């Protein structure tokens, strides 16, 4: 019997024949070509236009329903939305994927080739940006009024090329040839002031007012990306701002004969939305980055207020109508901006403005890493946003003199410790403190992380306001991360539990009843094998490496960072390789270690680790002595589109961060959902995944968070582990030779150095032995085919909790308090 499919129901759905007609019509009337002349790009755009006929209609209905209801809405402010491709996802969510595929087949086209024309919308670095993308998908699916606000970067995250084993960054130009999903809205352009000075003026009533005389003005042009909920009832908007020169500025200069100057003005203004900063979890304090933050916050707030004012004449209902979620501290400047608008422009008194702000903003923390906690030099603020600095000072003064003084009377040390302004050689604004002081809720992104946010990051704030701290465990959208990326497994589940699982992922738990069923196991593992065969082909195409789909596919895909410990994975690979060389009969299942990772362009050690992986891969993959038992693959340009091919093909999911450092992780959820077994530390959401799937179905190793802290407090000495473990010593020493870099000894030495002289800040050496044992357990377990299949099924069937719809419902219950609006 042909497998059933979970197909979104949609009254507007097109039949195959209608879809064909629509595509052909768009080829001709939208793209100015025809079936005979069109290239794949034109076919792709015509397909998108056909879908958009449905999508735009739902978009209009949704905004009409929201306006009529005057409903409370969430505004998700994020500097990053890592959307990936939209075509396949939208076809699924509108419920016309099959019709589109069959229509294209009839027209002589393969839907995969056509959809491959779409560039990734890579407007984010990693986890934080991808989470934002999953969240707006869930908000639309659940019919909540919501707008995502961000920046319309001309260049998203760089494209990674590997040359001679090293990462090279190339510009990403995702909209070079136009993007069929976006709609420009010139009617909603906003002006953004910058620089200048603040004047204190006294009105005729004797009242003091502040006037900010901006030194420059740029404009923000909104581009709307429709966000199609599952079954396309609701289509929300992701509104991205593009910066342009404000008209009157360049015209003034131009008219005065300064054509060249006016061009400089134009390119300065356009620089603001030119490129996404590629630094994941580290801060650089660059002026242009501060301007990016302010630019999109100012545009978004004006947009929110403009919409509010359609139905309201004063601000008394503002915080009832609008909640603004700050995706980490990057949009924090929205706080003083709203204060400024309310006081300076709308004439509210401080206390009323403050009440509105503190009832409107909520803040999500995504990291505990000290280098990622944003601070801005006071002098930069003063230069770019002088009025905002004054407001921040006043927020701080009131906080210290009222709240801190009341709780800890006369304690100047505490005031210094909690001040939003950090004293020192360069005075700094601590953005996270400004968030916690203002926001009515602060949340972490996994249970363990939220505890650490309270205990380690903000303990005193938590003493002051315990009720402000929440947890909302992250989730991922099952539409993209199972339905669209793993059609085979998706239809197996639809056969088993019906077609509602893409909404209610807990329905998959039914599969637990079949975890020991031989037929079910075979079907499940056959699908895994199919996905591994497909991935093997991708690996051959991209890396020219042959891998055996019967081998264990062991995958670590995430940004490259020391705390994520790709180099711990490398040390273990070297240990395995050494065992195989020393003992050709060393018992192990064939294993393919697969990596995908981008390094921040200025992060030297991260780039050295990529180089090491590639050099080790060269050697290992071509060493006949080990008879193909071990392969190492580094897939270039890891991104959402590649991730969609990797998660379904994984046997082992590497989640090996030092305990206490990974806030949540979301890749861990996608792996488990697709039937991979987690090899991980008790960190972030791994803890909750283990809880859901059962300890016996994951491989946990290493120090836990308390042990990490204790070892650090006691004075961790990596040399003890180096001298105490001959195998570890041997692989570290290997890195200093020219074995992997013939004729160039020392090219991989920086890794050893960081782990010994550098003090091994993330305890790779301390966890090495335990990690290595866990790998032996993985290998043993894989030999038991039935035992492994059982565990893979249980993993996939038991992670319903990590549906981002559940995360959104948690946000709604605990923080946003929204009501659903059903468009007609």
DSSP 440: S
CA 542 to chain centre: 24
- Closer to ligand KOT by CB, 373 or 515: give it: 373
Q: Is 127 in the site for ligand KOT (CB under 6 A)?
A: yes
Q: Closest approach of Cβ 807 to ligand KOT, in Å?
A: 10
- Locate 643 and state its tokens: 């991730």
Query: Candidates 261-269, 378-386, 624-632, 659-667 — which segment interacts with ligand KOT by CB under 6 A?
Result: 659-667
Is 60 known to be catalytic?
A: no
Query: Of these, 145, 220, 336, 665, which contacts ligand KOT (CB under 6 A)?
Result: 665
- Closer to ligand KOT by CB, 474 or 796: give it: 474
Q: How many residues bind ligand KOT (CB under 6 A)?
A: 18
Query: Candidates 126-134, 200-208, 607-615, 727-735 — which segment interacts with ligand KOT by CB under 6 A?
Result: 126-134
Is 9 known to be catalytic?
A: no
What are all long-range contacts of 172-176, with beta carbons under 8 Å and residues at least 24 apart? 172/119, 172/122, 173/119, 174/119, 174/120, 174/121, 174/122, 174/123, 175/119, 176/119
CA nearest neighbour of 216 among 199, 197, 194: 194
- Closer to ligand KOT by CB, 127 or 636: give it: 127
Q: Closest approach of Cβ 662 to ligand KOT, in Å?
A: 5
Query: Of these, 95, 126, 180, 718, which contacts ligand KOT (CB under 6 A)?
Result: 126
CA–CA dist 554, 551 (Å, integer): 9
- Closer to ligand KOT by CB, 14 or 446: give it: 446
Active-site entry in 72, 239, 330, 559: 559
Q: Closest approach of Cβ 130 to ligand KOT, in Å?
A: 7
CA nearest neighbour of 238 among 331, 151, 329: 151
Assign 660 to helix, strand or coil: coil
Q: Is 281 in the site for ligand KOT (CB under 6 A)?
A: yes
- Closer to ligand KOT by CB, 330 or 775: give it: 330
Using CB under 6 A, which residues numbered 319 to 378 contact ligand KOT?
Answer: 328, 366-367, 372
Active-site entry in 307, 670, 752, 806: 670
Phi/psi at 26 (5° precision): -70, -35
CA 541 to chain centre: 27
CA–CA dist 558, 687 (Å, integer): 18
- 734-766 burial, b at 16+ Cβ within 10 Å, e below that, comes to bbeeeebbeeeeebbbbbbbbbbeeebebbbbb
Residue 210's H or E segment, with its range, is strand 208-213
Query: Of these, 119, 336, 684, 800, which contacts ligand KOT (CB under 6 A)?
Result: 684
Task: Tell me which residue has tokens 């740029």.
Answer: 218
| DSSP notation for 374-413 | -EEEHHHHHHH-HHHHHHHHHHHHHIIIIIIHHHSTT-HH
- Locate 155 and state its tokens: 């260049």
CA–CA dist 650, 675 (Å, integer): 8
Q: Is 680 in the site for ligand KOT (CB under 6 A)?
A: no
- Closer to ligand KOT by CB, 367 or 641: give it: 367
- Closer to ligand KOT by CB, 372 or 575: give it: 372
Is 427 known to be catalytic?
A: no
Query: Candidates 122-130, 214-222, 241-249, 745-753 — which segment interacts with ligand KOT by CB under 6 A?
Result: 122-130
Q: Is 663 in the site for ligand KOT (CB under 6 A)?
A: yes
Q: Closest approach of Cβ 329 to ligand KOT, in Å?
A: 7
C-alpha distance from residue 484 to each of 142, 300, 479, 639 (Å): 19, 32, 6, 16
Q: Closest approach of Cβ 285 to ligand KOT, in Å?
A: 13
CA–CA dist 196, 383 (Å, integer): 7
Q: Is 119 in the site for ligand KOT (CB under 6 A)?
A: no
Q: Is 121 in the site for ligand KOT (CB under 6 A)?
A: no
C-alpha distance from residue 4 to each of 93, 94, 160, 493 (Å): 17, 17, 39, 9
Q: Is 688 in the site for ligand KOT (CB under 6 A)?
A: no
Active-site entry in 366, 567, 572, 591: 366
Query: Candidates 10-18, 120-128, 435-443, 624-632 — which segment interacts with ligand KOT by CB under 6 A?
Result: 120-128
Is 666 known to be catalytic?
A: yes
- Closer to ligand KOT by CB, 94 or 445: give it: 445
Q: Is 474 in the site for ligand KOT (CB under 6 A)?
A: yes
Q: Closest approach of Cβ 338 to ligand KOT, in Å?
A: 22
CA–CA dist 474, 558 (Å, integer): 16
Residue 474's H or E segment, with its range, is none
Is 366 known to be catalytic?
A: yes
Using CB under 6 A, which residues numbered 390 to 449 contact ligand KOT?
Answer: 445
Q: Is 666 in the site for ligand KOT (CB under 6 A)?
A: yes
Residue 443's H or E segment, with its range, is strand 441-444
In the bound state, the residue with its beta carbon closest to ligand KOT is 127
Q: Is 242 in the site for ligand KOT (CB under 6 A)?
A: no
Per-residue binding letters, 283-322, with ligand KOT (x by CB under 6 A):
----------------------------------------
Query: Candidates 88-96, 114-122, 127-135, 301-309 — which segment interacts with ligand KOT by CB under 6 A?
Result: 127-135
Q: Is 662 in the site for ligand KOT (CB under 6 A)?
A: yes
Q: Closest approach of Cβ 207 to ligand KOT, in Å?
A: 40
CA nearest neighbour of 129 among 121, 117, 139: 121
- Closer to ligand KOT by CB, 387 or 558: give it: 558
Q: Closest approach of Cβ 666 to ligand KOT, in Å?
A: 5
Assign 654 to helix, strand or coil: strand
CA–CA dist 499, 229 (Å, integer): 16
Per-residue binding letters, 78-117, with ligand KOT (x by CB under 6 A):
----------------------------------------
Q: Is 128 in the site for ligand KOT (CB under 6 A)?
A: yes
Pairing of strands 73-77, 146-151: parallel
CA nearest neighbour of 179 among 149, 151, 157, 154: 154
- Locate 695 and state its tokens: 């300890």
Residues carrying an active site annotation = 366, 558-559, 564, 666, 670
Binding site for ligand KOT (CB under 6 A): 126-128, 131, 280-281, 328, 366-367, 372, 445, 474, 662-666, 684
């Amino acid at each position: 019997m042909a497998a059933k499919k979970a197909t979104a129901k949609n009254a507007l759905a097109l039949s195959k024949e209608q879809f064909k007609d629509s595509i052909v019509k768009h080829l001709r009337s939208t793209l100015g070509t025809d079936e005979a002349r069109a290239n794949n790009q034109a076919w792709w755009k015509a397909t998108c236009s056909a879908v958009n006929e449905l999508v735009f209609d739902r978009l209009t209905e949704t905004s009409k329903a929201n306006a009529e209801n005057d409903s409370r809405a969430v505004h998700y402010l994020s500097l990053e939305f890592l959307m990936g491709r939209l075509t396949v996802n939208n076809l699924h969510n509108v419920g016309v994927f099959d019709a589109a595929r069959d229509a294209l087949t009839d027209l002589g086209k393969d839907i995969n080739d056509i959809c491959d024309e779409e560039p990734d919308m890579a407007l984010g670095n990693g986890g934080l940006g991808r989470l934002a993308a999953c969240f707006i998908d869930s908000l639309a699916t659940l019919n909540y009024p919501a707008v995502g606000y961000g920046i319309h970067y001309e260049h998203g995250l760089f494209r990674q090329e590997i040359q001679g084993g090293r990462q090279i960054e190339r510009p990403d130009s995702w909209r070079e040839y136009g993007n069929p999903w976006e709609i420009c809205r010139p009617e909603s352009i906003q002006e953004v002031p910058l620089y200048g000075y603040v004047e204190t003026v006294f009105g005729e009533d004797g009242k003091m007012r502040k006037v900010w005389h901006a030194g420059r003005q740029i404009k923000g042009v909104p581009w709307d990306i429709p966000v199609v909920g599952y079954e396309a009832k609701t289509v929300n908007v992701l509104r991205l701002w593009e910066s342009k020169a404000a008209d009157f500025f360049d015209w003034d200069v131009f008219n005065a004969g300064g054509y060249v100057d006016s061009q400089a003005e134009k390119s300065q203004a356009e620089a603001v939305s030119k490129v996404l900063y590629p630094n994941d979890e580290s801060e650089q304090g660059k002026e242009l980055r501060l301007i990016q933050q302010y630019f999109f916050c100012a545009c978004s707030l004006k947009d929110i207020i403009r919409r509010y004012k359609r139905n309201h004449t004063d601000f008394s209902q503002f915080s009832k109508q609008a909640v603004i979620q700050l995706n980490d501290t990057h949009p924090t400047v929205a706080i003083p901006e709203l204060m400024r608008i309310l006081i300076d422009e709308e004439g509210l008194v401080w206390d009323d403005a403050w009440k509105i702000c503190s009832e409107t903003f909520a803040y999500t923390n995504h990291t505990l890493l000290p280098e990622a906690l944003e601070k801005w030099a006071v002098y930069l603020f003063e230069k770019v946003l002088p009025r905002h600095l004054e407001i921040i000072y006043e927020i701080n003064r009131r906080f210290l003199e009222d709240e801190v003084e009341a709780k800890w009377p006369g304690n100047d040390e505490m005031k210094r410790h909690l001040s939003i302004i950090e004293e020192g050689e360069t005075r700094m604004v601590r953005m996270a403190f400004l968030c916690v002081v203002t926001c009515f809720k602060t949340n972490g992104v996994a249970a363990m992380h939220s505890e650490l946010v309270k205990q380690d990051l903000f303990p005193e704030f938590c003493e002051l306001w315990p009720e402000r701290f929440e947890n909302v465990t992250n989730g991922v959208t099952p539409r993209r991360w199972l339905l669209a990326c793993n059609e085979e497994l998706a239809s197996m589940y639809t056969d088993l539990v019906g077609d509602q699982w893409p909404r209610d992922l807990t329905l998959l738990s039914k599969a637990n009843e079949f975890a020991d069923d031989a037929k079910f196991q075979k079907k499940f593992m056959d699908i895994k094998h199919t996905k591994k065969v497909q991935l093997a082909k991708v690996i051959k195409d991209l890396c020219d490496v042959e891998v055996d789909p019967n081998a264990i596919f062991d995958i670590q895909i995430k940004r490259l960072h020391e705390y994520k410990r790709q180099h711990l994975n490398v040390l273990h690979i070297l240990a395995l390789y050494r065992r195989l060389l020393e003992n050709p009969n060393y018992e192990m299942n064939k294993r393919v270690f697969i990596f995908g990772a981008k390094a921040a362009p200025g992060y030297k050690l991260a780039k050295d680790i990529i180089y090491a992986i590639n050099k080790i891969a060269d050697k290992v993959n071509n060493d006949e002595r080990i008879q193909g038992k071990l392969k190492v693959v580094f897939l270039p340009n890891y991104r959402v589109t590649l991730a969609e091919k990797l998660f379904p093909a994984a046997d082992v999911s590497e989640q090996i961060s030092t305990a206490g450092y990974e806030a949540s992780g979301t890749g861990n959820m996608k792996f488990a959902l697709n039937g991979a077994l987690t090899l991980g530390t008790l960190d972030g959401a791994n803890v909750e995944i283990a809880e859901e799937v059962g300890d016996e179905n994951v491989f946990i190793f290493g120090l836990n968070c308390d042990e990490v802290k204790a070892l650090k407090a006691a004075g961790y000495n990596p040399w003890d582990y180096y001298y105490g473990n001959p195998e570890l010593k041997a692989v570290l020493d290997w890195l200093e030779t020219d074995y992997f870099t013939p004729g160039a000894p020392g090219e991989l030495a920086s890794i050893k150095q960081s782990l010994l002289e550098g003090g091994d800040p993330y305890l790779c050496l301390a966890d090495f032995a335990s990690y290595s044992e866990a790998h032996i357990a993985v290998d043993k377990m894989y030999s038991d085919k039935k035992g492994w299949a059982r565990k893979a099924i249980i993993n996939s069937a038991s992670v319903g909790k990590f549906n981002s719809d559940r995360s959104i419902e948690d946000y709604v219950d605990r923080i946003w308090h929204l009501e659903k609006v059903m468009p007609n």
